[in-house]
Amino acid sequence: MLKPKRLLIVGIVAALVMTLGIASITASVSAQGAAVAATMVPGASTLLGAAGSKAFSPDPINVKVGGTVTWTNKDSQAHTVVSGTGSTDPNKGKVFDSGLTTLIQPGKTFSHTFTTAGTIPYFCQIHPAMVGKIIVT
């Protein structure tokens, strides 16, 4: 039989665990469709040719209109994320461009909020074999 003081402590701990569990479920449900996490995978800068389509994860990225994608650089090299199919695309950077002056260093992030539905190709200006696609619905 538990003493009243221990019973109170066990009750408080159980209540905290339930509250935190419910809070994390609520946070993930409310974030669904609003925020999407993406990464430049470790070794992304070394992926060439068709393997370059595996440099970003997930690929494709699915996000709702009004949702924000945040890319985190998990590679050891700096990167960019730029809308378009490559450096000669006349629409390069018209939807988003993380910029060459402020590279996304390892461990750092870049975010963009999407306001229009559509399919948007993107790439890294430093490593143009790194390509991905965003589907905004």
Domain range summary for the chain, segments of one domain joined by +: 1-32, 33-136
Name the strand (E) or helix (H) holding 27: helix 4-31
Phi, psi of 86 (to 5 degrees): 160, 180
Domain spanning 33-136, CATH class: mainly beta
List all residues 6 or more positions away from 72 whose beta carbon is below 8 Å from its beta carbon. Answer: 37, 38, 39, 40, 107, 108, 109
pTM, entire model: 0.74
Angstrom distance (rounded) from CA 124 to CA 83: 9
State yes or no: pLDDT of 13 exceeds 70.
no
Residue 115 near residue 127 (C-beta atoms within 8 A): no
pLDDT grade for 8, boundaries at 50, 70 and 90: very low
pLDDT at 4: 55
For the segment 62-118, what is each residue's pLDDT rounded down to a tens digit? 999 999 999 999 999 999 999 999 999 999 999 999 999 889 999 999 999 999 999
Q: What is the DSSP letter of 131?
A: E
Asked if residue 129 has pLDDT above 90, the reply is yes
> In the prediction, which pLDDT does 1 show?
54
CA 84, CA 89: separation in Å to the nearest integer? 6
